[in-house]
Amino acid sequence: MAARLLRLHGHGAAGQLYSIFNSKFLLQYSTTAVATTCDPTHFLMNYLVDSLGFSKEEAITTNTKVTRLKPTENPQLVLNFFEQSGLDKTHIGKIVSAVPKLLLCDVDKTLKPKLDILHDLGLCGSDLVKVITGSMSILKNTEVSDMKSCVSYLRKVLGSDENVMKAVKKKPCLLSVKGCERLRTNMLFFQSIGFSDEDIKKFIVQNPYTLLACPESVEDKVDRLKKDFNISQGSGMFIHGVDVLISMKKATIDTKLGVFRDYGWSKWDIIKLVQLLPYCLRLSQKRLRAALNFYMGELGLKPAYLASHPTLLMFSMKKRVLPRLELMRSLVEKKLYDEDYNLYTILLPSDPKFYQIYVLPYKDMIPDVCELYNKFQQHGKAEK
């Protein structure tokens, strides 16, 4: 329909009137009136293409989503409001593309009060856009009073607007009634199993998904952590195990465990690994297999050793492992270092510390290898 409207514009005698049916309403369009009366559909199409850089196809799709609902002059009012709120064309384009129905909202009753709430939290620019596009229902469906209640609750739990902003940026649905209800339910459960208010605050700020998961699923995952991996509530890794398991689907966890079994790991090897560093389960299958192929296939390390030194699996092959081992190989070849060096001791230090201990003392003796190490480092960072 929008495409037909564009074809009609610019043709025919002045004053000729076109009648175009679109769903349930009749849009009257006059070529002589364009200069003085801004038709909302015509305005929106032009704005999307000329101001926001939409292709004609994207503009037609967005326009259709808006105009099929009801005839309205709101799109122009909403777009003007976004501009007056300090959002640039790029920001507005992202919002309109992600949530075109916002163009039908009432500015004074819906958009302005809600954007004021977000602005009060310190959200602006790209952060504001991230929140708006991250949860389509917040600006369109959540009542202003409910949004204010959610913000008040989060301020009470998290202690500052800065923490509220950090959490909301990661999970905008915290500003919805459903999100706050789940948060309350899961907080009560975590408190019942011994988590402190400070622990819960860290969860919400750093990984709010943990407390926004389905309450039944949360309880099941915590129960599995205790039964399948023998991690008790008193363990320092319990809180990290909860974080990892809740953030993953059961099928995904089982698939990751299957990877270890494929390489001959026993049940107890896997339990040991998870007890020491549950975050290993978040590694992709591809990365897990690459690490196991290298450590077990090329270096000959056993599952028991890797289970006792799980950090090895977390290290980047390209950024850390390969550059360091290449340097050590050269040092050994030139009789500058004992070939029986401890792998874990070599890979564990931070980059600055490793450079200070293993690179600088030998830079005059093997400058080419030091240069190669630096190149490996830069190449790895570029591929991160």
Per-residue pLDDT of the chain (384 residues; tens, 9 = 90+): 444 434 434 444 333 333 333 333 333 333 333 333 445 556 666 677 766 777 777 776 776 776 665 545 567 788 888 888 888 888 888 888 877 778 778 888 888 999 999 999 998 888 888 888 887 677 777 888 999 999 999 999 999 999 999 999 999 999 999 999 999 999 999 999 889 999 999 989 988 988 999 999 999 999 999 999 999 888 889 999 999 999 899 999 999 999 999 999 999 999 999 999 999 999 999 999 999 999 999 999 999 999 999 999 999 998 899 989 988 988 898 888 888 899 999 999 998 899 889 888 888 888 777 777 777 666 555 554
Diameter over CA atoms, the chain: 93
Q: What is the pTM of this model?
A: 0.71
* Distance from C-alpha of 293 to C-alpha of 311, rounded to nearest angstrom: 16
Residue 334 lies in a domain: yes
* Distance from C-alpha of 349 to C-alpha of 69, rounded to nearest angstrom: 60
Which residue range is the domain that position 342 belongs to? 320-380
On whether the CB atoms of residues 200 and 190 are closer than 8 A, the answer is yes
In degrees and rounded to multiples of 5, residue 268 shows phi and psi of -75, -30
Residue 336 lies in a domain: yes
On whether the CB atoms of residues 246 and 281 are closer than 8 A, the answer is no
Total structural domains within the chain:
1
- What's the full length of the chain, in residues? 384
CA dihedral 253, 256, 262, 268 (to 10 degrees): -60
Instruction: Determine what percent of the chain falls in helix, strand and coil, rounding each to the nearest 5.
Output: 70, 5, 25
In degrees and rounded to multiples of 5, residue 87 shows phi and psi of -85, 135
Residue with tokens 């966890």: 253
On whether the CB atoms of residues 285 and 255 are closer than 8 A, the answer is yes
Residue 338 lies in a domain: yes
Q: Which residue from 322, 316, 327, 324 is spatially nearest to 287, judged by alpha carbons? A: 316
Q: What is the predicted pLDDT for the residue at 33?
A: 32
Residue 66 lies in a domain: no
Measure CA of the first residue to CA of the last residue in the chain; give whole Å: 46
On whether the CB atoms of residues 82 and 98 are closer than 8 A, the answer is no
Q: Which residue from 103, 111, 49, 57 is spatially nearest to 79, judged by alpha carbons? A: 103
Residue 216 lies in a domain: no
Q: Which amino acid is at 57?
A: E
Q: Given CA atoms 291, 297, 301, 306 in this order, what sign does their dihedral have? A: positive
* Distance from C-alpha of 59 to C-alpha of 53, rounded to nearest angstrom: 9
* Distance from C-alpha of 331 to C-alpha of 362, rounded to nearest angstrom: 8
Residue 368 lies in a domain: yes
Question: What sections of 9-111 are H helices per DSSP?
Answer: 40-46, 56-67, 74-84, 89-98
Residue 301 lies in a domain: no
